Amino acid sequence: MKRGNVISAAGLLAVLLAAVPLAAFGLPPGDPARGEKVYGRCFACHAIDRDRTGPRHAGLFGRRAGSIPGFPYSPAMKKAGANGLVWNEETLDKFLQNPTKFIPGTRMTYAGVKNDQDRADLLAYLKEATKEAKQ
């Protein structure tokens, strides 16, 4: 195999691996830049680095639901966390698609991000933005 082919294969593998977490449960690969625009829909209630009507998103991935100290979560969200719900690509995908169906009683009274590509883009953005931000 020529060197160029090796590099191309490695690049392709990296792209595929990056896409796997979302593609594994049916979402197309996400575009973080486009996801930042989708995040504008969340901006009435959320920010990356501060609690607002909704909790901050910094450190979101891997965080147990309803677990930011002092944030006034709904009893339903606290219960979901106590029952083991942890935010990752899969759980966020389900929640964002229809928040009040995934967690009845949540205070996130939003119909959801219905478009698969929008949700994939949003998750791609959140994964980058929440990793860099201070918790």
Partner 1 sequence: MPELFIPSFRTLARRVFLARTGQAALSATAVALLAGNEALAAQSKSGTKDVTILNTALGAEQEAIAAYQVGAESGLLQKPVLDLAVAFQGHHKAHADLLASAIKKLGGTPSAPKQPADYHFPTSKLKSQADVLRFAADLEKGAVSAYLGAIPLFHNRDLAKAAGSILGDEAMHWAVLRQALGETPVPEAFVA
Least distance in angstroms from the C-beta of 108 to partner 1: 7
Q: Are 30 and 112 in contact (CB under 8 A)?
A: no
Residue 128 touches partner 1, criterion: CB under 8 A? no
Residue 33 touches partner 1, criterion: CB under 8 A? no
Residue 36 touches partner 1, criterion: CB under 8 A? no
Per CB under 8 A, the list member of 67, 71, 112, 116 interacting with partner 1 is 112
Residue 97 touches partner 1, criterion: CB under 8 A? no
Instruction: Concatenate the DSSP letters of all residues of 25-75 into one string.
Output: TTPPPP-HHHHHHHHGGGTTT--SSS-SSS---TT-TTPBTT-STT----H
- Between residues 108 and 123, which has the closer beta carbon with respect to partner 1? 108
Q: Are 25 and 90 in contact (CB under 8 A)?
A: yes
Q: Are 92 and 126 in contact (CB under 8 A)?
A: yes
Residue 131 touches partner 1, criterion: CB under 8 A? no
User: What would the two tokens of residue 53 be?
Assistant: 């009507």
Binders in 49-68 for partner 1, by CB under 8 A: 50-53
Binding site for partner 1 (CB under 8 A): 38, 40-45, 50-53, 74, 100, 105, 107-112, 118
